[in-house]
């Protein structure tokens, strides 16, 4: 790809509605809750149930997950390490726009590589980012396998599948660990809800 115009010609436009005004009007802070974990660990399920709970309480919230993003914005990307990185870079930038728009983003992505998660995290300040490790052993995820993808990966029909023939690097210092072999979905949702509340995000 070519760039005909120099970066210095692009001037940031501050806009007339500030994020702080949105936070005040909506009655809560905005930020990103990033759920990382293996496929079938329960990330998306927790994210979407929490989305519903928060929405019903009047919180402006939106859940991203690997599947709906990969159908549109990132439909040009595959699952090689480079494409996974670009996938996450773009997601982080879109999440920034939502956070600027006053919205709490629940982002559920396998995001298996530590350095890619660090790249995402680096785009946000500490008080607007929560890293959640949705923990579940690969053998349990593989038993769940709701989309039959582990099976396909074992058969060699999918290559580079995290937990089968591609690594997952566990977070070393996540803000919260949710062990989905020990908690039910409602318990996991409540745990995360309480943590977000404790962090002060549910007030302006």
Catalytic residues: 111
Q: Which stretch binds its own copies (CB under 8 A): 28-36, 88-96, 113-121, 179-187?
A: 88-96
Contacts of residue 56, defined as CB under 8 A and 6 or more positions apart, other chains included, come to none
Least Cβ distance, residue 173 to its own copies (angstroms): 26
Tokens of 55: 């929405």
Q: For residues 186 and 188, what is the distance between their CA atoms, to the nearest angstrom?
A: 5
Q: State the CB neighbour count (10 A cutoff) for residue 80.
A: 12
Q: Does 117 bind its own copies (CB under 8 A)?
A: no
Contacts of residue 27, defined as CB under 8 A and 6 or more positions apart, other chains included, come to 58, 203, 204
Q: Does 52 bind its own copies (CB under 8 A)?
A: yes
CB closer to its own copies out of 2 and 173: 2
Least Cβ distance, residue 43 to its own copies (angstroms): 11
Q: Does 40 bind its own copies (CB under 8 A)?
A: no
**How many positions of this chain bind its own copies (CB under 8 A)?**
64
Instruction: Output the 3-class SS for 44-82.
Output: HHHHHHHHHHHHHCCCCEEEEEHHHHHHCCCCCCCCCHH
Which residues of the chain form contacts with its own copies (CB under 8 A)?
1-7, 9-13, 15-17, 21-22, 25, 44, 48-49, 51-52, 55, 58, 60, 62-73, 75-80, 82-83, 86, 90, 93-94, 96-98, 100-101, 103, 123, 147, 149, 152, 158-161
């Amino acid at each position: 790809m070519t760039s005909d115009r120099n970066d210095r010609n692009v001037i940031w436009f501050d806009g007339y509605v500030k994020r702080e005004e949105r936070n005040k009007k909506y009655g809560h802070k905005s930020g990103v809750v990033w759920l990382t974990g293996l496929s079938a660990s329960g990330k998306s399920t927790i994210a979407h149930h929490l989305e519903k709970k928060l929405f019903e309480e009047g919180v402006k919230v939106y859940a991203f997950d690997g599947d709906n993003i990969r159908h549109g914005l990132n439909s040009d990307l595959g699952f090689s390490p480079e494409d996974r990185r670009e996938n996450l870079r773009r997601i982080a930038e879109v999440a920034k726009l939502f956070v600027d728009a006053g919205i709490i983003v629940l982002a559920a992505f396998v995001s298996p590589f530590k350095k890619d998660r660090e790249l995402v995290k680096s785009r946000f300040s500490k008080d607007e980012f929560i890293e959640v490790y949705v923990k579940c052993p690969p053998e349990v995820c593989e038993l769940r396998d709701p989309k039959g993808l582990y099976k396909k990966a074992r058969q060699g029909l999918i290559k580079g599948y995290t937990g089968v023939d591609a690594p997952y690097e566990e977070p070393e210092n996540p803000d919260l660990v949710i062990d989905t072999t020990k908690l039910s979905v409602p318990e996991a949702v409540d745990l995360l809800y309480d943590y977000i509340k404790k962090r002060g995000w549910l007030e302006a």
